[in-house]
Amino acid sequence: MNSSRTSNGALERRVRRQEAAAEFGERALEADDRESLCCRAARTVVATVAEETDVATDGVDSGPGSQSRASSYGPAPERSETEPESPPIYTCTVLEALPDVDRFRLRERADRAAGGREVVGRSPPVDGSDDKTMFPVDRTSHAGRALRTGDPIVVDDLRADDRFRGPDPPLERAHSAVSVVIGRADDPWGVLSLHATARDRFDDADVTFLRSVASALASAVERLRADQRRSEEASLRRTILETSPVGITLIDADGQNVFSNDRAEEILGRSAEELRTYTHDDERWNLIDERGDPIESDDLPLSTVAETGEPVYDDIVGAERPDGTRVWVSMHCNPIFDADGEFDGAVYAFRDITERKHLESRLEEILGRVDDAICAFDTDLRYTHVNERAEELLGQSESELLSERLWDRFPEAEDDDAVRESFQKAMETQEPTSYEHYYEPIDAWFEVSVYPSETGLSVYFRDVTERKAYEQQLEASNERLEQFASAASHDLQEPLRMVTSYLQLVEDRYADELDADGREFIDYAVDGAERMREMIDGLLEFSRVETQGEPFEPVELDEVLEDVRQDLSVCIEESDADIAAESLPRVEGDGNQLRQVFQNLLSNAIEYSGDEPPQIEVSSERAPSGDWVISVSDDGVGIDPDDQERIFGVFERLHGTGERDGNGIGLALCRRIVERHRGDIWVDSEPGDGTTFSFTLRPASADE
């Protein structure tokens, strides 16, 4: 009979525990916060276990083992033989494992006396700032061992079991305990523990019950964590969408707008509510392409992605705002598919390029009016723009050339090394290049400048056929001039040498017979012949600037100036001249001819310095055109404005013969040399305020 009642009692207890675990599981699914969930779990455990305990037979065991050792749990309480036994107290704790700090946090604690007659107390939920609720994860504590091993830990007598000496939550009178892991053994969330103030209180049935509650608790915690992650991700997505500088809209499979962020409302000039009344091909958009032509529904990005299943990138569309203004957008359209792989709509991401379109239109208008022919190419060298002048020179219209590759349209240009290499160099180095090209089909010469950018190339070219013809004529004229000058020099030098020789012979042979006037007349004649020889040499040198100059190469002007100072060292020392010079640039030119320019300008500065020692400054600066401006300044007598252009003429002098040295060809030679270098030379001066001669030179190719 007793055996039957015991069996029935065990069955009833198992049924009650299953019902309690199931009820907790159902309520756990409804919990919306971790605190209330942990509270319900702890209360369910102590209420169920305590109500099953027979108060009459279960007292506090204070046998020999209860005071066997002092521990963190405290000594067993003493009582007299006449003191009535107190019912055991059950305590359930929910401990969250904090892996980052290797500690437990006490999430919940519930206490109940055996028989379920009273709730002794419950610690309130705490945050992580309270050190009293934080405990190390230690193998010498039964909760720590459960977490480390993943197995249930049952302790019959905490005070007598030497395995467990570590700290657990402050349960001063606990004798026995059982702990199970909350969650998977390989990824536990925490530990669910049950303590009793009596020994030998727990068995396998208690382990099974705690595991059932812990499993439901773990599922609910994971659900709450997943909900929190989803909520945080959704909040982050909303924040990104709403703060994005890009307009974003969501279109469903029927083409209806179902979402738009703040930037989309701003760009399109409509509120989110109004946008939800629009379809992607709504007539109110008045959509046009870049050419200004209306866009059919089948050609819109949504139609394309719905048909192909592939995204559309950088599609440029013009849409009309409610106020009648047009906004231009560059848009990406990405398809969305449902769980079955069926098309379910699309996401549009677009940015406002209205200002850029206006600038492009303005630029095209300006380019259409300039005299230079201009073509623009993308990175594949396909035509993207051709102005009217380019159409005239190329003999083809913009509509014929757009989207065509340069080499396909003009294969002969690719065969020209100068053309092909110039384009390649510009693309590779992202530096401008230039060249001259003879286009045989129309018998014309072009000067071409290539300017690279991230999106391709802009090519400017002009017809220089007339200039090339003039240069050829000039070259032929220079050759004839040199031939004439050479012949004239030879033909004139011989009579001059004869005149000079005979005058010197007369002076030597008849010196004693000549009076002072006669000797003076002979000196005048010899001096005149000598000046005539210098003028002929100067004229010959002037004529050879173009024909006998060296090929251009990088020239260090600092070295040129130093050579000139050495050549003029005697003159500089005699005049006590002070020449101050900045660091000068490297230029493209003929070093010998540039040396002549510096020597002539410095000689003039010393010669016309006035009564004081010459103070001369040589400087350089970069002009807006990119050329270098070289200046030689002095504090001498200055030049009258009326004479400032005349002094660059051949044989032009500011002073009479005999007043100053020189043959009147030095500045003319400087101008001719500078012009050969495709530069300009000029003078700034006022009488008595000094003079500055300036000239321009092109930078060395590697320094441009």
What is the rounded CA–CA span in Å between residue 501 and residue 517?
20
| Mean pLDDT to the nearest integer, 153-163 | 83
Percent over 70 (pLDDT), the chain: 79
What is the reported pLDDT for 55? Answer: 41
Lowest-pLDDT range, 77-86, 197-206, 406-415, 417-426? 77-86
What is the rounded CA–CA span in Å between residue 629 and residue 704?
14
| Mean pLDDT to the nearest integer, 456-467 | 86
What is the reported pLDDT for 583? Answer: 92
What is the rounded CA–CA span in Å between residue 472 and residue 488?
24
Please tell me what DSSP assigns to residue 282: -
What is the reported pLDDT for 56? Answer: 37
What is the rounded CA–CA span in Å between residue 441 and residue 601?
48
Under a CB-based contact definition with an 8 Å cutoff, are residues 422 and 447 in contact?
no
Strands 343-352 and 326-337: antiparallel
Lowest-pLDDT range, 254-268, 430-444, 481-495, 625-639? 481-495
Q: Which residue has the higher pLDDT, 53 or 257?
A: 257
Token pair for residue 343? Answer: 């098309």
Q: Which residue has the higher pLDDT, 624 or 547?
A: 624
Q: Which residue has the higher pLDDT, 450 or 469?
A: 450
Q: Which residue has the higher pLDDT, 63 or 136?
A: 136
| Mean pLDDT to the nearest integer, 497-503 | 73
Does residue 638 carry a pLDDT above 60? yes
| Domain covering 244-358: architecture | 2-Layer Sandwich (3.30)
Does residue 57 carry a pLDDT above 50? no
Q: Which residue has the higher pLDDT, 480 or 390?
A: 390
What is the reported pLDDT for 522? Answer: 75
pLDDT digits (tens, 9 = 90+) for 535-544: 566 555 655 6
Confidence band for 319, pLDDT divided at 50, 70 and 90? very high
What is the reported pLDDT for 417? Answer: 85
What is the rounded CA–CA span in Å between residue 330 and residue 333?
10
Q: Residue 598 burial by CB count (10 A; 0-12/13-18/19+): exposed, middle or buried?
A: buried
Does residue 209 carry a pLDDT above 60? yes
**Spatial CA neighbour of 699 closest among 598, 543, 588, 594:** 588
Under a CB-based contact definition with an 8 Å cutoff, are residues 321 and 291 in contact?
no
**Is the pTM for the entire model greater than 0.75?**
no
What is the reported pLDDT for 469? Answer: 82
Lowest-pLDDT range, 71-80, 119-128, 439-448? 71-80
What is the reported pLDDT for 480? Answer: 65
Does residue 80 carry a pLDDT above 50? no
Reading across the β-sheet that carries 681-685, which strands appear in turn?
Answer: 578-581, 615-622, 628-634, 691-697, 681-685
| Mean pLDDT to the nearest integer, 234-257 | 81
Angle between helices 557-567 and 591-607 (to 10 degrees): 50
What is the reported pLDDT for 487? Answer: 57
Does residue 296 carry a pLDDT above 70? yes
| Mean pLDDT to the nearest integer, 592-619 | 88
pLDDT digits (tens, 9 = 90+) for 557-597: 999 999 999 988 888 898 899 999 989 999 999 888 898 88
Under a CB-based contact definition with an 8 Å cutoff, are residues 153 and 179 in contact?
yes
Q: For residue 231, what are the contacts with CB-CB under 8 A and spacing of at least 6? A: none
DSSP one-letter string for 613-639: PPEEEEEEEE-TTS-EEEEEEE-SS--
| Mean pLDDT to the nearest integer, 19-33 | 85
Confidence band for 303, pLDDT divided at 50, 70 and 90? very high
What is the rounded CA–CA span in Å between residue 221 and residue 224?
5
| Mean pLDDT to the nearest integer, 181-205 | 87
What is the reported pLDDT for 405? Answer: 92
What is the reported pLDDT for 694? Answer: 93
Sign of CA dihedral 352, 358, 364, 367: negative
What is the reported pLDDT for 374? Answer: 87
Q: Domain segments of the chain: what residues? A: 12-53+86-230, 244-358, 468-541, 551-697
What is the rounded CA–CA span in Å between residue 252 and residue 531?
97
What is the rounded CA–CA span in Å between residue 35 and residue 27?
13
Confidence band for 333, pLDDT divided at 50, 70 and 90? very high
What is the rounded CA–CA span in Å between residue 696 and residue 557?
13
Does residue 490 carry a pLDDT above 70? no
What is the rounded CA–CA span in Å between residue 206 and residue 185?
19
pLDDT digits (tens, 9 = 90+) for 653-662: 555 444 445 5
Confidence band for 301, pLDDT divided at 50, 70 and 90? very high
Sign of CA dihedral 430, 431, 432, 435: negative
What is the reported pLDDT for 171? Answer: 62
Does residue 422 carry a pLDDT above 80? yes
* CATH class held by domain 551-697: alpha beta
**Spatial CA neighbour of 193 closest among 219, 159, 161, 158:** 158
Does residue 84 carry a pLDDT above 80? no
Does residue 431 carry a pLDDT above 80? yes
| Mean pLDDT to the nearest integer, 204-217 | 90
Integer CA distances (angstroms), 78 to 42, 75, 351, in order: 29, 9, 81
Please tell me what DSSP assigns to residue 28: H
Token pair for residue 155? Answer: 């302790």
What is the rounded CA–CA span in Å between residue 546 and residue 554?
18
Does residue 387 carry a pLDDT above 70? yes
Does residue 199 carry a pLDDT above 60? yes
Under a CB-based contact definition with an 8 Å cutoff, are residues 350 and 330 in contact?
yes
Backbone angles phi, psi at 160, to 5 degrees: -105, -15
Length of the chain, please? 704
Average pLDDT, the chain: 80
What is the rounded CA–CA span in Å between residue 161 and residue 667?
114
What is the rounded CA–CA span in Å between residue 286 and residue 300?
12
Confidence band for 198, pLDDT divided at 50, 70 and 90? confident
| 244-358 shares its CATH topology with 551-697 | no
Strands (DSSP E) along 440-564, which ranges?
Answer: 444-453, 456-463, 553-556
CATH topology of domain 12-53+86-230: Beta-Lactamase (3.30.450)
Does residue 665 carry a pLDDT above 80? no
